[in-house]
């Protein structure tokens, strides 16, 4: 029992773990996109750039201010989320009365600006961000050795996803949020400050992207293109899952990560495109997405 279909087990488990890691980032990023989309009705194209900013700000905190990984997990989402608040206040809030496509175009332009600025100052070669000592090393799981940091990323991502889900589905704040998604005008009539809620929601979604960036920093090299490579796949994930439900985007994110990992084992040539092929099939069978409402 050392192999399945001729594939050695360690290889299979290794790729499954890699798939779970990618899935963790798909889930975190599509979750942020879904939160933003729910209330603002825009697709945040800047999401990839904000993910990249998260990784860079963590790097800057470490190298310029000596602030380590665990503090960065808390500080970076706040800092980057704050830039999101500013962007929403200054620009995005002007577009709510227009076609939603303008929101997409604006955030695409912002993504170009942010990525260009980082490329100017840091080059495109990538910077190293070490794994924090507390999470280095590996654990013997009996059937494979798992690098501790990778296990941590999966666990942290699951916890953050569940926490977000709980906040939105089970708290009073979440109830306001869901109500405003349905009928913003009525919620406003009940005395809730909806514009402020929208601003903070955008900031929170951006914060989630930045948090994903900090988690990603020790795994991928910190470089200005890391976000745009990810975000297009995440868009496909979002189309597959449908934006209707928060839980749906979490499940789809992890699931597709695993599928991608398995493809890398059994048919490596297709690993880059498998998610897009799945997207095409889902569009044929369920155009609204697996968890979406038509």
Partner 1 sequence: MAGAQDLALPAGSGTVPTTLFGFSRAQAVAFVVLVAAIAVAPMFLYPIYLMKVMCFALFACAFNLLLGYVGLLSFGHAAYFGMGGYIGAHAAKVMGLSPELAIIAGGIVAAGLGAPFGWLAIRRAGIYFAMITLALAQMVFFFANQAPFTGGEDGIQQVPRGRLFGAISLAPDLAMYAVVAAVFLLGFLLVFRIVHSPFGQVLKAIRDNEPRAISLGYRVEHYKLLAFTLSAALSGVAGATKAIVFGIATLTDVHWSMSGEVVLMTLLGGMGTVFGPVAGALVIITMQNYLAPFGAWVTIIQGVIFVACVLAFRRGIVGELGRLLRVQL
Residues that bind partner 1 (CB under 8 A): 42-43, 91, 94-95, 98, 100-102, 104-106, 108-117, 119-120, 228, 232-233, 235-236, 238-239, 269, 272-273, 275-277, 279-280, 283-284, 287
Three-state secondary structure of 184-228: HHHHHHCCCCHHHHHHHHHHHHHHHHHHHHHHHCCCCCECCCHHH
Nearer to partner 1, 120 or 182 (CB): 120
Q: How far apart are CA 135 and CA 144, in angstroms?
A: 17
The b/e string for 238-257 (b: 16+ C-beta within 10 A; e otherwise) is bbbbbbbbbbbbbbbbbbbb
* 149 alpha carbon, distance to own chain's centre: 18
Question: How many residues make up the chain in this entry?
Answer: 294
Query: Cβ of residue 51: shortest distance to partner 1, in angstroms?
Result: 16
Nearer to partner 1, 102 or 266 (CB): 102
Nearer to partner 1, 214 or 246 (CB): 246
Query: Cβ of residue 52: shortest distance to partner 1, in angstroms?
Result: 14
CA quadruple 57, 63, 65, 69: dihedral sign: positive
Query: Cβ of residue 189: shortest distance to partner 1, in angstroms?
Result: 27
Query: Cβ of residue 282: shortest distance to partner 1, in angstroms?
Result: 10
Nearer to partner 1, 156 or 274 (CB): 274
Q: Cβ atoms within 10 A of the Cβ of 222, count?
A: 23
Query: Cβ of residue 108: shortest distance to partner 1, in angstroms?
Result: 6
Query: Cβ of residue 154: shortest distance to partner 1, in angstroms?
Result: 25
Nearer to partner 1, 93 or 148 (CB): 93
Query: What is the Cα Rg of the chain in Å?
Result: 19
Nearer to partner 1, 55 or 72 (CB): 55
First-to-last CA distance in the chain?
46
């Amino acid at each position: 029992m050392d192999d399945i279909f001729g594939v050695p087990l360690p290889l299979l488990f290794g790729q499954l773990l890699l798939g779970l890691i990618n899935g963790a980032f798909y889930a975190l990023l599509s979750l942020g996109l879904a939160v933003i989309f729910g209330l603002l009705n825009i697709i945040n194209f800047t999401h990839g750039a904000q993910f990249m900013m998260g990784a860079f700000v963590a790097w800057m905190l470490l190298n310029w201010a000596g602030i380590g990984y665990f503090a960065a997990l808390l500080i970076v989402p706040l800092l980057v989320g704050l830039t999101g608040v500013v962007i929403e206040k200054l620009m995005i809030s002007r577009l709510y009365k227009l076609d939603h496509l303008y929101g997409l175009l604006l955030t695409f332009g912002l993504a170009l600006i942010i990525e260009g600025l980082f490329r100017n100052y840091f080059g495109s070669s990538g910077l190293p961000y070490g794994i924090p000592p507390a999470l280095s090393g590996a654990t013997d799981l009996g059937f494979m050795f798992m690098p501790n940091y990778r296990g941590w990323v999966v666990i942290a991502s699951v916890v953050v996803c569940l926490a977000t889900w709980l906040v939105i589905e089970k708290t009073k704040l979440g109830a306001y949020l869901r109500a405003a998604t349905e009928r913003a005008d009525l919620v406003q009539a009940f005395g809730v400050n909806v514009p402020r809620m929208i601003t903070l929601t955008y900031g929170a979604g951006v914060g989630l992207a930045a948090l994903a960036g900090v988690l990603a920093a020790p795994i991928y090299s910190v470089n200005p293109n890391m976000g745009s490579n990810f975000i297009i796949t995440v868009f496909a994930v979002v189309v597959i899952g449908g934006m209707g439900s928060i839980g749906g985007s979490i499940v789809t994110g992890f699931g597709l990560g695993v599928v991608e990992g398995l493809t890398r084992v059994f048919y490596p040539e297709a690993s880059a495109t498998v998610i897009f092929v799945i997207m095409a099939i889902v569009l044929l069978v369920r155009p609204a997405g697996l968890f979406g409402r038509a």
